[in-house]
Amino acid sequence: MAQGKLGRIQWGDLLFGPGSQYAVTAVSGVDDLPDIRTEDVARPGQHGDYTGPDWTEARTIQLKLGLRGESPDDLRDLSLALRNATQPQLQPAPLQFLDQGVLVYAKVRKRSIPYDAEYLWSIGDAALELYCADPYLYGLDEKSAWTTAYSPAAGRTYPLMYAGLAAATNEVLNPSTEVDTTNQLGYDPGSTGVITIARAASAAKVGTARTVVTVGAGTNIASGVQYTLSRNFLAGETITVQGWINLNVTPTLVQVLLRNSSTGAVRTVTVPTPLVGSWQQIYSTITLAAGESFNRFGFVITTASGSTTWSTDAMMLETGSVAHQYVDGDQAGCVWNGTANASTSTRTTVGTNRTYGSAGTSGRLTAVNNGASNAFPVLRLDGPVANPAIEQATTGGLLNIDATLQAGEYLLIDTRSRAVLYMGSTPRRSWVRAGSVWPVLLPGSNEFAYRGSALPGAPGQTSLLTVTWRDTSL
């Protein structure tokens, strides 16, 4: 949160400001507008100019520091540490204004650590000048949003048979917490003893209740919830899992959890980080490896610090590689196969004798840039998909990719440098179709649409678009 004083500043491993021995006595160049590079042209034979767009030059930031040692030797150690941390650089490094939520990428261009004999040898001064070739001010938090591709091509083949909702069985015994948390357990991989689960009869995704996971104090905490399954799923079986998750903080890692309650064996599958503050659905198809056997399924999240609360709801595990619409015995057209809210459940009411291909998913996401300038997002496309297209629906930007990505392959696209990297390293700029318009994030809310063709034999559309950005200002 922005404050009237700059507070703490982080440069590499050094912390300046409150709580450190480097007092910040003056800062300039952060809130200042960098020099403007104009494209104005004089009007021949007339007063004034023809004015063009204004662009900013590089940003220069100056810091003045007060070194507060406890002895002459301590002051010398502070001076040496500052000197060592401000060597000439090959590449810019992040300079973080922690209490204002601002980050810039800078190089040290000048350093002054004078000696003044008038001081009592434990107090000194220093001055730094940092050059920011990229003048933008970025938010400290890196944000991301993701969606599966919309693919109408995955669906209709004539002659048609209409199936409506397909028959499906949910192997999770208590998937929506409508009555209690029976057959649900917290998962505490770090043995911190500070993870609990409970039922909350409010703000549910399905029905009236949700499962709440609470994590106590700590750092780098991994917390999870596990739902009991109807049986042991064995090596060679393919399962498809889905569920809804609602996070109150941005995690460092989100994983699908499979666990065997008898042997303690655990398998986790990392998935893209969901948006924070609303219900987000997670899918994954998993084939169990040799020797694996699991009878519980859930989610694990890792956060940088503890004291967080997050929720799950509408958990589902089914055999095979197709994700069907959520099933529990309380849903219309579904039944419990045993005790209500404590057994498997099946959808028994399906369509008539005609089948359409599965409807395309929404294929849309919203990215909010809380800065005052355009932001340049990084796009990641995960296969399987053919000829994907990313549309910035707010501005009309459209990026068409003439390529096919198989399962396990991905493409990384930096919209600022316009680098297109297959598997994050191999240049593939030629895959961008001529006439494409590169998307940017305007200040405020931006809507993206993601489309692509499903590969032959691939049921549904499992390709992902992940958009990553920082709030951006000048």
Tokens standing for residue 77: 């150690």
Q: 90 burial class (0-12, 13-18, 19+ CB within 10 angstroms)? A: exposed
Pick the last residue of a domain from 289, 324, 347.
347
Can you read off the two tokens belonging to residue 275? 């948006």
Max Cα separation, the chain? 94
CB 312 within 8 A of CB 243: yes
In a domain, 162, yes or no: no
CA pair distance 392, 101, nearest whole angstrom: 27
Q: Single out the residue of 84, 83, 87, 98 nearest to residue 17, CA to CA.
A: 98
CA distance 107 to 115: 24
CA pseudo-torsion sign 458, 410, 442, 6? positive
Residue 341's SS3 state is coil
Helix or strand or coil: residue 340? coil
Task: Write out the E strands in 288-384.
Answer: 293-305, 308-319, 334-336, 345-347, 364-369, 378-382
Q: Does residue 178 sit in the same domain as residue 281?
A: yes
The two three-digit tokens of residue 180, written as one number: 């209690």
Judge if 336 and 398 occupy the same domain: no
Report the CATH number that the domain containing residue 459 is assigned in CATH.
2.60.120.860
Kindly calculate the radius of gyration of the chain based on its CA atoms and give it in whole angstroms: 28
Alpha-carbon span 365 to 373, nearest angstrom: 20
State the pLDDT at residue 59.
95
Q: What is the pLDDT of residue 356?
A: 36
Which of 9, 235, 216, 206 has the alpha carbon at shortest distance from 101? 9
DSSP string, 270-297: E-PPPPBSS-EEEEEEEEPPTT-EEEEE
Are 54 and 147 in the same domain?
no
In a domain, 203, yes or no: yes
Whole-number percent of the chain with pLDDT over 70: 88
Domain that holds residue 73: 9-139
The torsion region of residue 118 among left (phi > 0), alpha (psi -120 to 50) and beta comes to alpha
Q: Is residue 120 located within the same domain as residue 234?
A: no
Question: Which position has the token pair 């209500």?
Answer: 340
What is the CATH number for 328?
2.60.120.260
3-state secondary structure of 154: helix
Structure tokens at 233: 């799923």
Q: Distances in Å between the alpha carbon of 14 and those of 21, 102, 129, 170? A: 10, 17, 16, 53
What does the block give as tokens for 311?
């929720």
- Tell me if 402 is assigned to some domain: yes
Q: Do residues 311 and 407 both lie within one domain?
A: no
The answer to whether residues 123 and 258 belong to one domain is no
Position 5 scores a pLDDT of 57
Asked if the structure places residue 352 within a domain, the reply is no
Indicate if 104 and 203 belong to the same structural domain.
Answer: no
- CB neighbourhood size of 434 (10 A): 6
- What's the pTM value of the predicted model, to 2 decimals? 0.56
> 74 with 205, same domain?
no
Q: Which residues of the chain have pLDDT under 70?
A: 1-6, 117-120, 151-166, 190-193, 217-220, 305-307, 349-362, 456-461
Same domain for 421 and 450, yes or no, is yes
Q: Per residue in 455-471, pLDDT tens?
A: 765 555 678 888 999 99
Does residue 93 sit in the same domain as residue 198?
Answer: no
Condensed to tens digits (0 to 9), the pLDDT of residues 289-317 reads 898 999 999 999 988 766 688 999 999 99
Question: Residue 469 phi/psi, 5° resolution?
Answer: -160, 170
How many domains does the structure of the chain reveal?
A: 3
Q: CA-CA distances (angstroms) from residue 214 to 217, 220, 225, 311, 346? A: 10, 14, 10, 9, 31
